[in-house]
Amino acid sequence: MAKIVNYISEAFEELKSNVTWPVWAEVQKLTIVVAVFSVLFALATWGVDEFFTKALAGFFNWIKA
């Protein structure tokens, strides 16, 4: 148990002393960039899914006929 506590305390010390944290304005800007790209990626995935759904439905209707 002492090793776990030591690991956690050293990890927190590492985060406090050796990590360069970005300024709050940069964090906000990058968060918006990530959110926008996430929405765009979700819309692109939805679009590809809709395309293949319609293409496969058309293909199977063509085979059935």
Residue 65 pLDDT: 76
Q: Scanning the structure block, which residue is given the tokens 């926008």?
A: 36
Taking the domains of the chain in order of start, what are their residue ranges? 1-64
> If you write DSSP's letter for every residue of 40-61 in order, what string do you get?
HHHHHHHHHHHHHHHHHHHHHH
| pLDDT < 70 stretches in the chain | none
Tell me the per-residue pLDDT of 34-49, one tens digit each, with 9 for 90 and over: 999 999 999 999 999 9
